[in-house]
Structure 1
Amino acid sequence: MPKFKSPLSVVLFLLCMLCLAQGATAQKKAKDLFKVKSPKIQYVRPDTTILIEYEEFDDENSDAGKSINFSPKKELSIVSEDTTELDLGQQHIVEVSDEVLIDSTWIRIAGYYAIWDTRNINPYRMDARQLKDTVEVQLYDPRSNRNYKMPLEKTPVTSHFGHRGYRWHFGTDIDLDTGDSIFAAFDGVVRINKWDGSGYGNYIVVRHYNGLETLYGHMSKAIAKPGQFVKAGEMIGLGGSTGRSSGPHLHYEVRYQGNPIDPEYLYDFPDYLLKGQNFQITSALFNYYNKSKSSSSNSGRRSYYHTIRKGDTLSGIAKKYGVTASQVAKLNGMSTRSTLRVGKRLRVR
């Protein structure tokens, strides 16, 4: 403490010290005012379960997964079987003598289809790789009022036929908005209208007069019913994103005797038309199956998981993945009455 000669000196010294203190405080406040504080970042782990493990790949036990089966079984013959129905669920043999009047023309049903199955996409058990001859298919014939129609009003392709991920993709995906109209590609009869929760979602299969079948998957609503005769261009359903789908689109397949054909062999989707009036089917079209089988066999075992969200129920989760609530409970070592905790991962397959 310095020595002061008078009381006035003491007062002046104290005033100076007070001013210095106030200046330092003001300077500190100014620095704090302009100081940029780093925001607190809370890391949230992204939920990729649905995108990677659910939406992209059909489950092997789904209709989509079971639709490729070239294991030959007893060949069904409308000549050797003295019956109109076999013990095969909803699979039927149609009598040769049956005929139906369609567009003023009598069509012999037995020549049109020998196996009628409203549940299984591929009941034929025919390996098209073993075809010996070329099959000539007339896709449409305007002279007989047999026309064709593109399955959608617009056909932007989002995914092609071929290897995708660890599975083979047996159709062409076409972009659409939920609720868009889906049309029958050719004249024919609806064979299947079904729900496939772990694959195609709402889907329809139509058998056509030209010998092909077409499949329309992931619809928000399937309208046409089994046994219904449809003309090319007739609306059969509405677009959606049901089943294993990462967004609204139409999964479109073309099949011959249960064997998928790359739709882009028949269609020029960018130009919105068929490539020709006729199409040749040979065994070479189906050589892809050797690659698809190899890729599937090398994929190993894969488990599927669902991350519980608010409002989820065990039965709702099970339905979404095409399994039962008891199966999910057993896989996770819990009971069907257990409380679901938001954020927890459940194994569903």
Structure 2
Amino acid sequence: MFIIIKRRVSYIIVFLSFLVVSIQEMYSQQDDTAVKYYEKLFINGKTVYLPIYNKKNRSEEDISSKLADITRDFEDSTWDNVRFNPYRGESITFPFQLTFEGKQFSSPVDRKMVVTSRYGWRRGRPHKGIDIDLWVGDSVRSILDGKVRYVGYHGGHGNTVIIRHYNGLETVYAHLSKFLVKENDEIKKGQAIAKGGITGNARGSHLHLEVKYHGKSINPEYLFEFTDRTEIRSDIVFVTRKWMTPRYHRSTRQSNIVVHKTINDIVLQEEQQKKIYTVKKGDTLYRIANRHGLAIAEICEINAIRKNSVLKVGQQIIITSAQ
């Protein structure tokens, strides 16, 4: 008896499933809002496939409104027009991947790009962006498509515009004299967003440009070639701790750029740069770490030693340059 009832239930489920599919197909043929195709977009660092609807008996405004509603569903709590850094306290796992649409970015200035100060250690402090020469009143332009998240005055940055891009990056434009956009404006690359100035902690007129991911700075020159070619270095880039840590770089010179396009690139470079250091008289973990541009914790981890370990003259430890 149980087996017969079980079979009858299975037949009923199959019949109901067929009925539901038939009804869906019937309505999709009649419904002028049926999905026509899906469009790939980058929203808040995520790949999103937005449905594009048939336009029969529907206005462009209706369709745009529907897509806007769907887009808003993917905005997260970090979309903040008040806080300069809404990601405070969030950690990042290295390495992570960035994806770019297109091969070029737009120059942030109309004149020839001259980088006057680079990402890295500068006068005993971290310089978390690059400085590009301009005159007060020159147009400042967005380097990529995106959406304005922040417009306002922020400490040493002075008048600042922050744009979030569809791959999760944010670009910061600082020391501005005049704003040409407002929060939540959709921006195209090359669009003028402000006028250059000397606001905030600035020594002479220049554009201070930062590139951030989840609130933490990335060396802009690792991703973009700031020359007349305005090339994005790769459509796929893996970012390691080295390229998000100013003390591994110097503001007075360009770092040696080796772009990681795959995880294997990172592993291969680590093996090539790994070397053995022999401890000398007077050496400490702090001195060795500082000499090689490493954190003490990194040396301890790779050598399985503690921060308070006493080094012996002649002792050999593994040194791997920061990635």
TM norm structure 2: 0.52
Q: Per the alignment, in what secondary structure is the counterpart of residue 152 of structure 1?
A: coil
Amino acid at match of 2:222: Y
Please tell me whether the aligned partners of residues 268 and 275 of structure 1 are also in contact (alpha carbons under 8 angstroms).
yes
Post-superposition offset of 1:220: 1.0
Unaligned runs of 5+ in 2: 1-49, 52-61, 251-285, 287-323
CA distance in 2, matches of 1:216, 1:163: 20
Please tell me whether the aligned partners of residues 218 and 244 of structure 2 are also in contact (alpha carbons under 8 angstroms).
yes
Post-superposition offset of 1:277: 2.8
Unaligned runs of 5+ in 1: 1-97, 295-349
Q: Does 1:137 align with 2:94?
A: no
Residue in structure 1 matched with residue 317 of structure 2 by the alignment: none
2:143 to 179, 185, 193: 185
Q: Does 1:174 align with 2:132?
A: yes
Please tell me whether the aligned partners of residues 140 and 278 of structure 1 are also in contact (alpha carbons under 8 angstroms).
no
CA distance in 2, matches of 1:102, 1:215: 29
Paired-residue identity, %: 35
Q: Which structure 2 residues correspond to residues 225-240 of structure 1 after superposition, within 5 A?
A: 225-240=182-197
- Deviations for 1:260-283, whole angstroms, at most 9, x for unmatched residues? 001111122134413233322234
Q: Which structure 2 residues correspond to residues 105-144 of structure 1 after superposition, within 5 A?
A: 108-126=71-89, 128=91, 130-132=92-94, 134-141=95-102
CA distance in 2, matches of 1:170, 1:102: 38
Larger Rg: 1
1:278 to 212, 222, 236: 236
Post-superposition offset of 1:289: 6.3
Aligned length: 190
Residue in structure 1 matched with residue 163 of structure 2 by the alignment: 206
Aligned-residue CA RMSD (Å): 3.3
Post-superposition offset of 1:188: 1.0
Q: Per the alignment, in what secondary structure is the counterpart of residue 199 of structure 1?
A: helix
Amino acid at match of 1:173: D
CA distance in 1, matches of 2:64, 2:169: 18
Please tell me whether the aligned partners of residues 169 and 212 of structure 2 are also in contact (alpha carbons under 8 angstroms).
yes
Please tell me whether the aligned partners of residues 211 and 256 of structure 1 are also in contact (alpha carbons under 8 angstroms).
yes
- Deviations for 1:173-201, whole angstroms, at most 9, x for unmatched residues? 000011111111111110110013x4111
CA distance in 2, matches of 1:126, 1:291: 24
Please tell me whether the aligned partners of residues 219 and 244 of structure 2 are also in contact (alpha carbons under 8 angstroms).
no
Q: Does 1:151 align with 2:108?
A: yes
Cα 1:101–1:163 shift into 2, 3 Å: farther
Q: Which structure 2 residues correspond to residues 247-326 of structure 1 after superposition, within 5 A?
A: 247-273=204-230, 274-288=232-246
Cα 1:123–1:227 shift into 2, 3 Å: same
Post-superposition offset of 1:102: 7.1
Q: Per the alignment, in what secondary structure is the counterpart of residue 74 of structure 2?
A: helix
Please tell me whether the aligned partners of residues 106 and 144 of structure 2 are also in contact (alpha carbons under 8 angstroms).
yes
CA distance in 1, matches of 2:126, 2:239: 21
Residue in structure 2 matched with residue 165 of structure 1 by the alignment: 123
Q: Per the alignment, in what secondary structure is the counterpart of residue 251 of structure 1?
A: strand
Residue in structure 1 matched with residue 309 of structure 2 by the alignment: none
CA distance in 2, matches of 1:103, 1:136: 32
Q: Per the alignment, in what secondary structure is the counterpart of residue 264 of structure 1?
A: helix
Amino acid at match of 1:120: R
